[in-house]
Structure 1
Amino acid sequence: MDINTIAAMAGVSRATVSRFLNDGYVSDEKRRRIAEVIEETGYVPSRQAQTLRTGKTGVVGVIIPKINSASISRMVTGLSDVLEKARYQILLANTANEAMSEVDYLKLFADGGSVDGIILVATVLTPEHLRTLGALSLPHVVLGQRVEGHRCVYHDDFHAVRDITLHALANGSRPAYLGVMEEDVAAGHDRHEGFLSACAERGATPLGEELPRSEFTIEGGYLACERLIDAHPEVDTVVCATDRIAAGAMACLREYGREVPADVQVTGLGDSDIAQVMTPTLTTLHYHFRTSGAEAARMLLDAMGKAEDRAQRVCMSYEIFSRNSTRRKA
Structure 2
Amino acid sequence: MRTRTGSSPTIETIARHAGVSTASVSRVLRGLGGLPETVKKVQAAAAELGYVPNAMARSLRGGQSRQVTFAMPDIGNPVYVAMMRHIQATAGAAGYRLLLHSTQADPVEELAALRALADRHSDGLILCPIRVTPAHLDELGRAAAPVVVIGSLPEDLAVDSVRADSVTGAELAVRHLADTGRRRIGLLNGPADTVPGAARHQGYERALAACGLRYDDALTASGRFDAQSGEEAARRLLDRVPDLDALFCANDLIAVGALRALRSTGRTVPQDVAVVGVDNTDLAEACWPALTSVDLGAHERGRLAAELLLSRLGDEVQAPVSRLAVQPRLIVRESCGASAAHADQVGGPSQHKEIP
Q: TM-score, normalised by structure 2?
A: 0.75
Of 64, 68, 81, 1:60 maps to: 68
Matched, 1:230 2:239: yes
2:88 matched to which residue of 1? 80
- Inter-partner Cα distance in structure 2 for 1:143 and 1:114: 21
1:326 matched to which residue of 2? 336
1:262 shift after superposition: 1.2
After alignment, is 116-125 or 158-167 more displaced?
A: 116-125
- Inter-partner Cα distance in structure 2 for 1:209 and 1:133: 39
1:97 matched to which residue of 2? 105
1:209 shift after superposition: 4.7
Alignment RMSD: 1.8
1:108 shift after superposition: 1.3
1:260 shift after superposition: 1.2
Q: 1:72-92 CA distances to partner (integer Å, 9 max, x unpaired)?
A: 011011111111111111222
| SS of equivalent to 1:268 | strand
Contact 2:70 2:99 in 1 (8 A): yes
Of 282, 286, 305, 1:296 maps to: 305
- Inter-partner Cα distance in structure 1 for 2:334 and 2:221: 28
Q: How many residues align?
A: 282
- Inter-partner Cα distance in structure 2 for 1:294 and 1:199: 33
Matches within 5 A, 1:1-330: 48-51=57-60, 54-109=62-117, 111-148=118-155, 149=157, 150-170=159-179, 171-185=181-195, 187-209=196-218, 212-305=221-314, 306-308=316-318, 310-329=320-339
1:287 shift after superposition: 2.6
- Inter-partner Cα distance in structure 2 for 1:158 and 1:144: 13
2:13 matched to which residue of 1? none
- Inter-partner Cα distance in structure 2 for 1:272 and 1:106: 28
Q: 1:8-51 CA distances to partner (integer Å, 9 max, x unpaired)?
A: xxxxxxxxxxxxxxxxxxxxxxxxxxxxxxxxxxxxxx963543
Instruction: Specify the code of the residue in structure 1 equivalent to 2:95.
Output: R
Instruction: Specify the code of the residue in structure 1 equivalent to 2:238.
Output: I
Q: TM-score, normalised by structure 1?
A: 0.81
Instruction: Specify the code of the residue in structure 1 equivalent to 2:239.
Output: D
After alignment, is 298-307 or 78-87 more displaced?
A: 298-307
Contact 1:176 1:208 in 2 (8 A): no
1:15 matched to which residue of 2? none
1:118 shift after superposition: 1.3
After alignment, is 159-168 or 122-131 more displaced?
A: 122-131
- Inter-partner Cα distance in structure 1 for 2:212 and 2:220: 21
Contact 1:123 1:184 in 2 (8 A): yes
Mark the runs of 5 or more structure 2 residues left unpaired by the alignment. Answer: 1-54, 343-356
Instruction: Specify the code of the residue in structure 1 equivalent to 2:292.
Output: T
2:10 matched to which residue of 1? none
Contact 1:174 1:206 in 2 (8 A): no
Contact 2:187 2:219 in 1 (8 A): no
